[in-house]
Structure 1
Amino acid sequence: MKEISAGGVVFRRTGDQVMIQLIEDRYGRITLAKGKMEPGETIEQTALREIEEETGIRGRIHQKLETVSYQYEHPVHGPIEKEVHYYLVQAMDGTHEAQVEEIHAVDWVSPEEAWSKQTKQGYPNNEIVLRRALQLLGKEVKP
């Protein structure tokens, strides 16, 4: 069985300062907003809908970042091949609050703090996504 999801690295600019949106999921891990594609949606529509549902932020896609593929074990359906499409998304407006049914918390952090949290508390497959986003935003990170 295959599952397609989409989401993004959300950023905002205030003058010269760039802030990155990070989520703490229900397992206490740092992650990015993402979710499953619904019938009739494009992958881009899925990314923007999921970001808004999970964080309250409406955004605009800047560009595609990465597609991450992995497998997980579903308790009912067995092995699932998961494909997650990530985009660099600029925050446009919204209320910025966590969808408590899905995630524990959402916050804006500096690029440096985002990278530090990702390397300490994040999922390994998000590292390439966040690294690419930060590079596109002019922020280099150390491995």
Structure 2
Amino acid sequence: MEMAAGGVVVRQRNEAWEILIIDDRFGHVSLPKGHQDPGETLEQTALREIEEETGVRGEILGAIGTVRYSYTRPDGQSGEKEVHYYLVKARSEAIRPQEEEIAGARWVEAREALRLQREKGYPNNTPIFEAALRSLSDA
């Protein structure tokens, strides 16, 4: 099983939370995530992948969930992936999308991000968005 990590990156604007969402190359909204490199902790992977994909640096606030799914690798073989997601507070806010990986990234008010996830996101990420919003309401 391939291990990966990513995060729900948040910032506070005028008393409201915003979430950094990705527009992927397939027309879906998603979260920054990627494969774990040898010797990395999952937390290090999450922070590295967020910064590589979006240019945003962050600080992990806590784990919020794990998603497992099957996928087709570039060689045509099927694979299994396990992605560990963290709630991440933005320490920088300027977005520099990695254009060879994603179509774009943007800050969206938290409830709007959940609406977009439900309409245009991958279904297995909905519980991750919901867990992040619950964590933010407890903050």
Structure 1 length-normalised TM = 0.92
Determine the structure 2 residue equivalent to 1:82.
Answer: 81
Determine the structure 1 residue equivalent to 2:106.
Answer: 107
Distance 2:102 2:52 in 1: 11
Determine the structure 2 residue equivalent to 1:26.
Answer: 25
Determine the structure 1 residue equivalent to 2:2.
Answer: 3
Whichever residue aligns with residue 21 of structure 2, its letter is L
Whichever residue aligns with residue 42 of structure 1, its letter is T
Whichever residue aligns with residue 129 of structure 1, its letter is I
Could you say what secondary structure the match of 1:108 adopts?
strand
Distance 1:19 1:94 in 2: 11
Distance 1:62 1:15 in 2: 20
Distance 1:15 1:29 in 2: 28
> How big is the alpha-carbon RMSD for the aligned residues of Structure 1 and Structure 2?
1.3
Distance 1:75 1:10 in 2: 28
Whichever residue aligns with residue 122 of structure 2, its letter is Y
Deviation at 1:39, TM superposition (A): 1.0
Deviation at 1:76, TM superposition (A): 1.8
Unpaired runs of 5+ in structure 1?
none
Deviation at 1:74, TM superposition (A): 1.9
Q: Which 4+ residue blocks in structure 1 deviate beyond 4 angstroms?
A: none
Whichever residue aligns with residue 114 of structure 1, its letter is A
What is the percentage of aligned positions where both structures have the same residue? Answer: 49
Unpaired runs of 5+ in structure 2?
none
Could you say what secondary structure the match of 2:63 adopts?
strand
Deviation at 1:79, TM superposition (A): 1.8
Structure 2 length-normalised TM = 0.94
Please identify which structure carries the higher strand content: 1
Q: Alpha-carbon deviations, 1:22-47, whole Å to 9, x = none?
A: 00001110000000011111100000
Whichever residue aligns with residue 73 of structure 2, its letter is H
Query: Does residue 54 in structure 1 map to residue 53 in structure 2?
Result: yes
Determine the structure 2 residue equivalent to 1:137.
Answer: 136
Could you say what secondary structure the match of 2:47 adopts?
helix
